[in-house]
Chains A and B, each alone.
Chain A
Amino acid sequence: MNSEEIQAIFFVECEEALAATETAINACRDGSADAETINAIFRAVHSIKGGAGAFGFDALQAFTHAFETLLSDVRDGAVQVTDALVQLMLRALDTLSDHVTAVREGGEAPLDAQLLQELHAAQAQNPTAQAATPAEEAPSADVTAIMDDMIDDLDFDLDAMLSDLGAPDAAQDDDEWMVHIRPSDAAMRNGGEPVLLLQALERLGGRGIACATQGVPMLETLDPEQARMDWTFAMPSTVSEAEVSDIFDFVADDYLIAFDTPLDPMPEAAPAPVEVAPVTDLPPPSPVDPVAVADPQPAAPIDAPATRSAQPGSRSAGQSVRIDLSKLDRLIDSVGELVIAQAMMSERLSRHGLGAIEELVLLDGLTRDIQESAMAIRAQPIGAVFSRVPRTLRELETTTGKKVTLKVSGEQTELDKTVVERLGDPLTHLIRNAVDHGLETPEERIAAGKPAEGTLTLSAEQRSGRVIIRVADDGRGLNRERILEKAIDKGLVDPQAQLSNEDIDNLIFAPGFSTAATISSVSGRGVGMDVVRQNVKELGGRISIETQPGQGTAFVLALPLTLAIADGMIVTVGDQTLVIPLAHVVESLRPTAGQVKSLGASRRMLNVRGQFIPVIPLDQAVGARGAKVSPTEAVLVIVETEDAGQAALLVDGICDQRQFVIKSLDTHYRSVDGVAGATILGDGRVALIADVDTIVANAQARAQLPEAA
Chain B
Amino acid sequence: MQTITLPARCDRASLIDLLSQLRAAAGEPVMVDGGKVEQAGQALLQMLVSLRKSQPESMILPSPALRDIARTAVLDRFLFDEASQ
Residue ranges of A at the interface with B (Cβ–Cβ < 8 Å) = 138-139, 144, 148, 183, 188, 193-196, 198-199, 202, 208-211, 213, 216-220, 222, 224-225, 227-229, 231, 273-275, 277-279
Is A211 a contact of B73 with CB atoms below 8 Å? yes
Is B77 a contact of A218 with CB atoms below 8 Å? no
Is A231 a contact of B46 with CB atoms below 8 Å? no
Is A277 a contact of B46 with CB atoms below 8 Å? no
Which residues from B are CB-within-8-Å of A231?
Answer: 73-74
CA distance A216 to B52 in the complex (A): 11
- The 28 listed contacts between A and B (C-beta, < 8 Å) are A188-B42, A188-B43, A194-B42, A195-B41, A195-B72, A198-B73, A208-B71, A208-B74, A211-B73, A211-B74, A213-B75, A216-B50, A217-B50, A218-B54, A219-B19, A219-B22, A219-B51, A222-B19, A222-B50, A224-B12, A224-B15, A224-B47, A228-B46, A229-B42, A229-B46, A275-B52, A278-B78, A279-B74
Q: How far, in Å, is B51 (CB) from chain A's closest CB?
A: 6
Which residues from B are CB-within-8-Å of A139?
Answer: 74
Interface bits B48-65 vs A (CB < 8 Å: 1, else 0): 011111111000000000
Which residues from A are CB-within-8-Å of B73?
Answer: 195, 198, 208, 211, 229, 231
Is B50 a contact of A219 with CB atoms below 8 Å? yes
Secondary structure of the B side of the interface?
Answer: helix
Q: How far, in Å, is B79 (CB) from chain A's closest CB?
A: 9
The 3 lowest CB-CB distance pairs between A and B, nearest first, are A208-B74, A211-B74, A193-B41
Partner of B72 from A148, A199, A220 at Cβ < 8 Å: A199
Which residues from B are CB-within-8-Å of A228?
Answer: 46
CA distance A208 to B77 in the complex (A): 13
Is B74 a contact of A273 with CB atoms below 8 Å? no
Interface bits B8-19 vs A (CB < 8 Å: 1, else 0): 000010011001
Q: How far, in Å, is A167 (CB) from chain B's closest CB?
A: 15
Q: How far, in Å, is B2 (CB) from chain A's closest CB?
A: 14
Is B46 a contact of A216 with CB atoms below 8 Å? yes
Which residues from A are CB-within-8-Å of B50?
Answer: 216-219, 222
CA distance A231 to B47 in the complex (A): 17
Asked if B45 lies at the interface with its beta carbon under 8 angstroms from chain A, I say yes
Asked if B69 lies at the interface with its beta carbon under 8 angstroms from chain A, I say yes
Partner of A224 from B43, B53, B55, B69 at Cβ < 8 Å: B43
CA distance A199 to B45 in the complex (A): 15
Q: How far, in Å, is B72 (CB) from chain A's closest CB?
A: 5
Is A219 a contact of B54 with CB atoms below 8 Å? yes
CA distance A231 to B69 in the complex (A): 14
Which residues from B are CB-within-8-Å of A199?
Answer: 72
Is A275 a contact of B53 with CB atoms below 8 Å? yes
CA distance A98 to B74 in the complex (A): 35
Is A216 a contact of B56 with CB atoms below 8 Å? no
Which residues from A are CB-within-8-Å of B75?
Answer: 211, 213, 277
> Which residue of the partner chain A has the closest CB to B77?
A278
Which residues from B are CB-within-8-Å of A275?
Answer: 52-53, 56
Is B72 a contact of A202 with CB atoms below 8 Å? yes
Which residues from A are CB-within-8-Å of B56?
Answer: 274-275
* Best-buried of B43, B47, B56 by chain A (most CB within 10 Å): B43
Which residues from B are CB-within-8-Å of A194?
Answer: 41-42
Q: For residues 5 through 45 of chain B, which have their beta carbon under 8 Å from a beta carbon of chain A?
A: 12, 15-16, 19, 22-23, 40-43, 45
CA distance A453 to B45 in the complex (A): 61
Other than A211-B74, A277-B78, give 20 A-B pairs with Cβ distance below 8 A.
Answer: A148-B77, A188-B43, A193-B42, A198-B73, A209-B74, A211-B73, A213-B53, A220-B23, A220-B54, A224-B47, A227-B42, A229-B45, A229-B46, A229-B49, A229-B73, A275-B53, A277-B74, A278-B77, A278-B78, A279-B74
* Best-buried of B12, B45, B49, B53 by chain A (most CB within 10 Å): B53
Which residues from B are CB-within-8-Å of A188?
Answer: 41-43
Which residues from B are CB-within-8-Å of A278?
Answer: 77-78
Which residues from B are CB-within-8-Å of A227?
Answer: 42, 46
Q: How far, in Å, is A10 (CB) from chain B's closest CB?
A: 19
CA distance A594 to B12 in the complex (A): 84
> Which residue of the partner chain B has the closest CB to A272?
B53
> Which residue of the partner chain B has the closest CB to A227?
B42
Which residues from B are CB-within-8-Å of A222?
Answer: 19, 46-47, 50
Is B19 a contact of A224 with CB atoms below 8 Å? yes
> Which residue of the partner chain B has the closest CB to A232?
B74
Q: How far, in Å, is B10 (CB) from chain A's closest CB?
A: 10
Q: How far, in Å, is B32 (CB) from chain A's closest CB?
A: 12
Is A273 a contact of B53 with CB atoms below 8 Å? yes
Is B54 a contact of A224 with CB atoms below 8 Å? no
Which residues from A are CB-within-8-Å of B15?
Answer: 224
Which residues from A are CB-within-8-Å of B41?
Answer: 188, 193-196
Given the known interface contacts A193-B41, A199-B72, the answer about A224 and B23 at a Cβ–Cβ threshold of 8 Å is no
CA distance A278 to B73 in the complex (A): 12
> Which residue of the partner chain A has the closest CB to B16?
A224
CA distance A504 to B56 in the complex (A): 88
CA distance A598 to B78 in the complex (A): 100
Q: How far, in Å, is B15 (CB) from chain A's closest CB?
A: 5
CA distance A219 to B53 in the complex (A): 8
CA distance A219 to B49 in the complex (A): 9
Q: How far, in Å, is A491 (CB) from chain B's closest CB?
A: 62
Q: How far, in Å, is B75 (CB) from chain A's closest CB?
A: 5
CA distance A646 to B22 in the complex (A): 81
> Which residue of the partner chain B has the closest CB to A233?
B74
Is A277 a contact of B43 with CB atoms below 8 Å? no
Is B74 a contact of A195 with CB atoms below 8 Å? no
CA distance A208 to B68 in the complex (A): 12
Q: How far, in Å, is B46 (CB) from chain A's closest CB?
A: 5
Which residues from B are CB-within-8-Å of A148?
Answer: 77
Which residues from A are CB-within-8-Å of B78?
Answer: 213, 277-279
> Which residue of the partner chain B has the closest CB to A191?
B12
CA distance A357 to B46 in the complex (A): 72
Which residues from B are CB-within-8-Å of A183?
Answer: 42
Is A216 a contact of B42 with CB atoms below 8 Å? no
CA distance A225 to B47 in the complex (A): 11
Is B49 a contact of A216 with CB atoms below 8 Å? yes
Which residues from B are CB-within-8-Å of A216?
Answer: 46, 49-50, 53
Partner of B49 from A210, A224, A277 at Cβ < 8 Å: A277
